[in-house]
Amino acid sequence: MTGSPNLLTTIFAFLLVLGPLVLIHELGHYLVGRLFGVKADAFSIGFGKEIAGWTDRRGTRWKLSALPLGGYVQFAGDMNPASAPSAGEDGLTAEERSHTFHVKPLWQRALIVFAGPLTNFALCVLILAGFVYAHGRLVAEPEVVGFSETSAARSAGMKIGDRITAIDGSPVASVTDIPEHTVYFPGKTVNVTLQREGRTVVLPVKLANEEVSDNFGNRARIGDIGLDFAVPVVSGIMDDSPAEHAGMKVGDRIVALGETSIDSFREVPPLVMPKAGAKTTVTVLREGEAHVLPITIGSAVQKDEKGRSVTVGRIGVESGFGRLEPVGPIEALGIGVDRSFDLMGTIVTGIRQIVTGDRSVRELGGPIKIAKYSGEQFSLGWEPFVGFVAMISINLAFINLLPIPGLDGGHLAFYAAELVRRKPLGLRSQEWAIRTGVALVLALMLFVTVNDLASLPIFGG
C-alpha cells in the first residue's frame, strides 16, 4: 500500500484543484455577462471575509475570500452573491439600470447562468481530448481469452473465444466500452450479446458484487464480470529484442511458447521470466497461417518485492491490452465530449443508486474526501492529477445544474417558469426560494463533511 501524502501536500493539491475550477466556472459567468453588457460588482474566489483584492477600472472588485469552498460573481442588480434580485434599483440612472443583470432579456440571463457549468464541462472535454490526442485511442478486441477464479461470465455459460458485441443492447466495439455497463452496477443482471462460432448468443450475466481498494486503501464496491481480455496479439516489438531477432511481427498472435499453448497474454510472463537465456520456440498465427519461430529468451534486471536486484527473462514484445491508435485533434475532441457525457452519466447512476438504496449514502463525498483524493492523485504524478481535475470539473458542472434555488440550475428553473408564465416570479418568492435552496445546500455540505470525517481511518473508517 502506498503511503498517503502529508497534510501540507494534501492542502496544496486541494487548493490546486478547487481554485482553478472555481475560477474557470465564475469566469464563464463573468465573460458572457460582460459580452451582454452586464456590470459585475464583485468577482470572488471563496466566500466570507475578503483576504485580498483590488478594484478594476470597470468597478469590479476582484477578491480572494476566507472560505475557499466556491466562489461567485455578483452582478449589478443582485442583492447577494446567490444572485437574488434586488428591489432597490430606484436610485439608479437609466444608463446604470441598463447594465444590471435582471433587466436583460430572458435568453441572455439564461446564457450567463449556463456559462458557468458549461465552462467546467468544456474543461473536462479538453483534458480528456488532450490525453487521447497525446497518447492515442486504446483499441482492444472484446474477445474472451480467460476467466477470473470466481467468474460471473463463466457461471453464465460464456466460453473462451466468445466475442462480446453488446451489453443490454449497447454496442461494444472495444474492451474499453465494457466498464461503463458493468463496473457501476454490482449485483445487476446484464444481457450480454456475443458472437460464438459464427452465431449470435445472448446470455444473462449477474455481475459479481465486489469490494476493491486502491494503493491508498480507498475502498469501492464494483460490478465484476470476471473476464480476461488480454488477447495475445503482438502490438509492439522492442528494438534489438529476442522477438525482433526471431522474426516476430506486429499483429502476430502468440498461440504457444514451446509446448505450452497460450490463450491470454497474462500467461506469457510466468513462462518467460524464470527462463532467462533459455532456447525455445514461439508459435504465432500470422494471416491465418501458423509459424514456429526459434527464440532465445533475453534477460533484464529488476527489483523484487524486497527491493533486491534479480535477473528475469524477457522476449521484448508489447501485447495483450490492445493497441493505441493515433487520432487527430477533431476526433480527439469528439472522444473527449463522449467521455465527458459518460462521466456525467456515471454521476447520475450513482445518485440514482443511492436514492434507491442500491448504494450506501456513506459513498457520498464532500470537501474533505476531495482534498484527500487530491493529495493522493497529486502524489502519483501530473497526469493522474490532471485526470482527477477533469473528474471534479464534470462533477461541479453537474451539481451546479441541479434545479436547486441558489445554484445555477435553480436560476435556470426560475427562467423556465418565467418562459411559461410570460412573467418572472415575484421578488419575494425568488428570495425565499433562494434562501431555502442555500439552506439545503449547506445542510448537504454538513452531511457529506460528517460523512467524510467518519470515513477517515482516525475515526475507524
Active site (catalytic) residues: 26
Q: How far is CA 234 from CA 298, 309, 325, in A?
A: 17, 28, 14
Q: What kind and span of H or E run contains 26?
A: helix 7-35
Find the Cα–Cα–Cα–Cα dihedral 460, 396, 45, 373, rounded to 10°: 30
Count of Cβ atoms closer than 10 Å to residue 284 Cβ: 24
Q: How far is CA 257 from CA 143, 238, 279, 338, 398, in A?
A: 21, 18, 11, 40, 51
Separation of alpha carbons 16 and 4, rounded Å: 18
Separation of alpha carbons 202 and 164, rounded Å: 10
Which residues 6+ apart lie within 8 Å of 298 measured at CB? 241, 242, 276, 277, 313, 314, 315, 316
Separation of alpha carbons 362 and 379, rounded Å: 25
Separation of alpha carbons 47 and 18, rounded Å: 13
142, 181, 190: which is closest to 163 by C-alpha?
Answer: 142
Per DSSP, the three-state class of 224 is strand
Separation of alpha carbons 60 and 76, rounded Å: 10
Residues in the chain: 461
Query: Which DSSP string do the residues of 96-143 spell out, in sequence order?
Result: HHHTSGGGS-HHHHHHHHHHHHHHHHHHHHHHHHHHHHHH-EEE---B
Separation of alpha carbons 258 and 57, rounded Å: 78
383, 379, 441: which is closest to 127 by C-alpha?
Answer: 383
The one-character DSSP state at 354 is H
Burial of residue 373 (CB within 10 Å: 0-12, 13-18, 19+) is buried
